[in-house]
Amino acid sequence: MGFFTSLFGRSDDYQEEEYEAPGALPELYSGMTLEVETPEGAQVLTGRLSGYIPSEATLTLERLPGALSFGTREVGSSVVIKGISEAMTQFYLRGTIQESNRVVCRIKDVKVKNFPEQRHNFRLRINVPATLFAQGDEARKNPEPCTLVDISTGGACVESEYLHAEDEVLRLKVELADYAPMEFLGEVIRVTEPRPGWFRYGFLFAQLKEAELTDLTRTLYNIQVGNRQIWVRGG
């Protein structure tokens, strides 16, 4: 195993397995952010929970404040739902699309679904300014402004006018209001050009220490529930 493979936890030999887990659903509340993906991991939408009927195992998602239209899925298709619980642990659900349009997504037959730890991390859509630095720029003299599109405990999606190659190692500095600045060593694992002269990067963090992981998870959770409202369940 090479140095970077060890540092960033990448393994081309890793085979994902998935399984359903028995037990109750995690605590769900109105306003929490949930991400919906296809079973293959392609993102469908990120929305906020606006309704949940436990007796029918049905939940409803609406758009986040300021967000544009939802991506849609065919009625009857399977999806994976991801979120962060009040205990600051990631959870995964599975369900079937009952209704899907540009403003509402309703999912039925919701059940708990577990994955190996390496599979996916909950990504929080954030779209805030951030800064990239070359790995060797110890004095942080050459900042590259960028946009932090989303972030998880495993990595981030970043957009920038600066071109970087896959496998390049950089440092990402994030400063969020009310939180201490965070800096992550990471590796560019994917590069796309959504429009001419503008690049989007999949940025894999070096494996975090336990304390760093706890701090980042707590921060993501606090951001997610910052606008939480009291909500009474339907029955």
How high is the pLDDT of residue 200? 93
* Stated pTM of the model: 0.54
Higher-confidence position of 114 and 52: 52
Tokens of 98: 């009952």
> What SS3 class is residue 86?
coil
Top-confidence residue, 45 or 25: 45
Query: Are the CB atoms for 210 and 27 separated by under 8 Å?
Result: no
Distance CA 202, CA 180 (A): 23
Supply the pLDDT for residue 131. 97
**What is the residue-averaged pLDDT of the chain?**
80
Angle at 61 between CA 58 and CA 66, to 5 degrees: 175
| pLDDT confidence bin for 235, thresholds 50/70/90 | very low
pLDDT value of position 26: 79
Query: What kind of fold does domain 124-224 have according to CATH?
Result: Thrombin, subunit H (2.40.10)
Considering the four listed CATH numbers 3.30.450.20, 3.20.20.140, 2.40.160.20, 2.40.10.220, the one that applies to the domain covering 19-114 is: 2.40.10.220
Residues in the chain: 235
Domain with CATH 2.40.10.220 in the chain: 19-114, 124-224
Query: What pLDDT score does 121 carry?
Result: 58
Closest CA to 204 of 130, 154, 144, 153: 154
